[in-house]
């Protein structure tokens, strides 16, 4: 029997070879489309299904691409030619919530937003907060060590993962970590697996930490600065004042102009088109006092500042940031880059982006999680009407400009990906950031977990 026949024999209707369904797995929210066509998609409903899939794949050395909701931004979960796409989207149960231990046990396909809705009943929340949280899965958040808007204050996903159950490349089951606040028995495989992008194992269950919802009211502040350098300097001053806002988002003038044009003036609370926009939110019991301090810092730094007086005015300020992606997407396919630099180098990085944009003639509208030093320079690829439904292709000139961005970030002490992951799209720069020593070690670790190289080949490392 072929591998496909064995899959069908063991997993029955959980296996699909429907061409439209297979084709849909070839892409993610990066817009990249894997060449060729996957062999099959397995809609796993249990760890047993995942084990059977891996066992059968290992027998014939067939690549397995683990996929959740397909919201990735680095091409790390796209069905490649001849692969088995292992979808965990149907493994979406919240197994249990233990409020007394401030934790939840979930299957990987549960949506971040659904988990948060369930936790809210207990005064708890799951802190990882990627912009995609309404549509992205907890398993995907863990596989990419997702970031988001709240990381400087509330940490990245890694800090929220206590224990994992993982199916290894040979179909066996591995348990890591524990349901305790502390625990140092052996190496931290939980942390090693977090952010490993499906290349070391398949997460089939996760024990995640929940936090008490912060007391107090959230205060939202919007500030407009003449240019991005001044806005970046202002965000640095907020950090230097030892304030820790929950959110600190920066929008550069190129992006802001597109957003204001997209929303119209009445929806943007009169935010002017020229200039850079800084959005700050304070939360917790001292949110009002912290907001006052932040306002003073921002005004002192030359910002034209407005503070939310109620939920509606806060929403209008937030809407500016929320509209960033749709405003860009109205003009073409958006390639979102994801560099991160030390916070003190944020203004420098914006300077490098402006310089690369001016030199190459490619507009690079940029938004940033300024509190983290994490910038998303965007490239908008106009969709060619003559190509019809064909896949969008990122021009090499854009990749060349992106490569320059990555190198600039590395020179400033940063990284080529703050939160999206390496995926297929950034692996060509991986060794450059890691250095030869680390790169070689990482490949050896990969070989320990996946000696046949069947787990998500092409993601992170060249095949």
In the region spanning residues 322 to 341, those forming contacts with its own copies, defined by CB under 8 A, are: 340-341
133 alpha-carbon distance from chain centroid: 9
Buried/exposed 309-332: b ≥16 CB within 10 Å, e otherwise: eeeeebebbbebbbbbbebbeebe
By CB under 8 A, residue 389 contacts its own copies: no
Backbone angles phi, psi at 306, to 5 degrees: -130, 145
| Residue spans of alpha helices (H) in 121-216 | 138-143, 151-154, 189-193
Q: State whether residue 287 is helix, strand or coil.
A: helix
By CB under 8 A, residue 102 contacts its own copies: yes
Q: Please list every residue from 137 through 176 that binds its own copies, using CB under 8 A.
A: 144-145, 147, 151-152, 155-156, 158-159, 168, 172-176
Using the contact rule CB under 8 A, the part of the chain among 89-97, 134-142, 393-401, 414-422 near its own copies is 414-422
Q: Please list every residue from 254 through 293 that binds its own copies, using CB under 8 A.
A: 284-286, 289
By CB under 8 A, residue 188 contacts its own copies: yes
Q: For residues 50 and 92, is the Cβ–Cβ distance under 8 A? A: no
Residue (of 256, 270, 265) closest to 306 by Cα position:
270
Using the contact rule CB under 8 A, the part of the chain among 32-40, 239-247, 251-259, 309-317 near its own copies is 239-247
By CB under 8 A, residue 81 contacts its own copies: no
By CB under 8 A, residue 180 contacts its own copies: yes
Candidates 53, 357, 366, 417; binder of its own copies (CB under 8 A) is 417
Residue (of 21, 73, 20) closest to 42 by Cα position:
21
* Contact pattern for its own copies over residues 35 through 54, marking x by CB under 8 A: --------------------
By CB under 8 A, residue 407 contacts its own copies: no
SS3 content of the chain, % helix, strand, coil (to 5): 40, 20, 40
Candidates 331, 430, 452, 453; binder of its own copies (CB under 8 A) is 430
Candidates 117, 212, 358, 400; binder of its own copies (CB under 8 A) is 212
Comparing CB distances to its own copies, the nearer of 389 and 444 is 444
Q: For residues 455 and 198, is the Cβ–Cβ distance under 8 A? A: yes
> Can you say whether the dihedral through the CA atoms of 59, 196, 410, 223 is positive or negative?
positive
By CB under 8 A, residue 243 contacts its own copies: yes
By CB under 8 A, residue 300 contacts its own copies: no
Candidates 66, 87, 136, 415; binder of its own copies (CB under 8 A) is 415
């Amino acid at each position: 029997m072929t591998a496909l026949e064995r899959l069908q024999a063991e997993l029955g209707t959980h296996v699909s070879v429907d061409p439209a369904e297979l084709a849909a797995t070839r892409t993610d929210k990066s817009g990249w489309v894997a060449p060729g066509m996957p062999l099959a998609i397995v809609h796993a409903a249990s760890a047993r299904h995942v084990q059977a899939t891996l066992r059968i794949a290992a027998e014939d050395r067939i690549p397995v691409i683990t996929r959740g909701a397909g919201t990735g931004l680095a091409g790390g979960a796209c069905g490649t030619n001849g692969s088995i796409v292992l979808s965990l989207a149907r493994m979406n149960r919240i197994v249990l919530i233990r409020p007394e231990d401030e934790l939840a046990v979930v299957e990987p396909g549960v949506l971040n937003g659904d988990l948060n809705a369930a936790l809210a009943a207990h005064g708890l929340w799951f802190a990882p907060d990627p912009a995609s949280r309404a549509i992205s899965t907890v398993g995907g958040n863990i596989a990419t060590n997702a970031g988001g808007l709240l990381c400087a204050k509330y940490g990245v996903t890694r800090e929220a993962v206590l224990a994992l159950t993982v199916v290894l490349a040979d179909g066996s089951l591995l348990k890591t970590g524990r349901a305790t606040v502390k625990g140092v028995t052996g190496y931290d495989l939980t942390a090693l697996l977090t952010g490993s992008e499906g290349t070391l194992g398949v997460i089939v269950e996760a024990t995640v930490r929940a936090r008490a919802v912060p007391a107090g009211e959230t205060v939202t502040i919007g500030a407009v600065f003449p240019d991005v350098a001044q806005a970046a300097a202002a965000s640095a001053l907020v950090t230097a004042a030892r304030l820790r806002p929950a959110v600190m988002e920066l929008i550069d003038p190129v992006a802001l102009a597109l957003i204001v044009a997209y929303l119209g003036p009445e929806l943007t609370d009169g935010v002017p088109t020229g200039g850079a926009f800084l959005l700050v939110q304070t939360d917790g019991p001292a949110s009002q006092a912290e907001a006052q301090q932040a306002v003073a810092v921002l005004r002192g730094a030359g910002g034209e500042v407005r503070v939310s007086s109620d939920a509606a005015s806060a929403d209008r300020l937030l809407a500016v940031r929320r509209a960033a992606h749709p405003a860009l997407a109205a003009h073409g396919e958006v390639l979102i880059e994801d560099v991160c630099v030390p916070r003190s180098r944020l203004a420098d990085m914006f300077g490098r982006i402006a310089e690369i944009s001016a030199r190459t003639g490619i507009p690079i509208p940029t938004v940033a999680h300024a509190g983290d030093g994490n910038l998303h320079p965007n490239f908008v690829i106009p969709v060619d009407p003559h190509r019809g439904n064909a896949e969008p292709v990122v021009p090499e000139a854009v990749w060349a400009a992106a490569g320059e961005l990555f190198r600039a970030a590395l020179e400033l002490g940063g990284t080529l990906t703050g939160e999206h992951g390496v995926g297929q799209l950034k692996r060509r720069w991986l060794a450059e950031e890691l250095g030869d020593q680390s790169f070689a070690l990482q490949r050896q670790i990969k070989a320990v977990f996946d000696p046949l190289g069947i787990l998500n080949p092409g993601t992170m490392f060249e095949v």
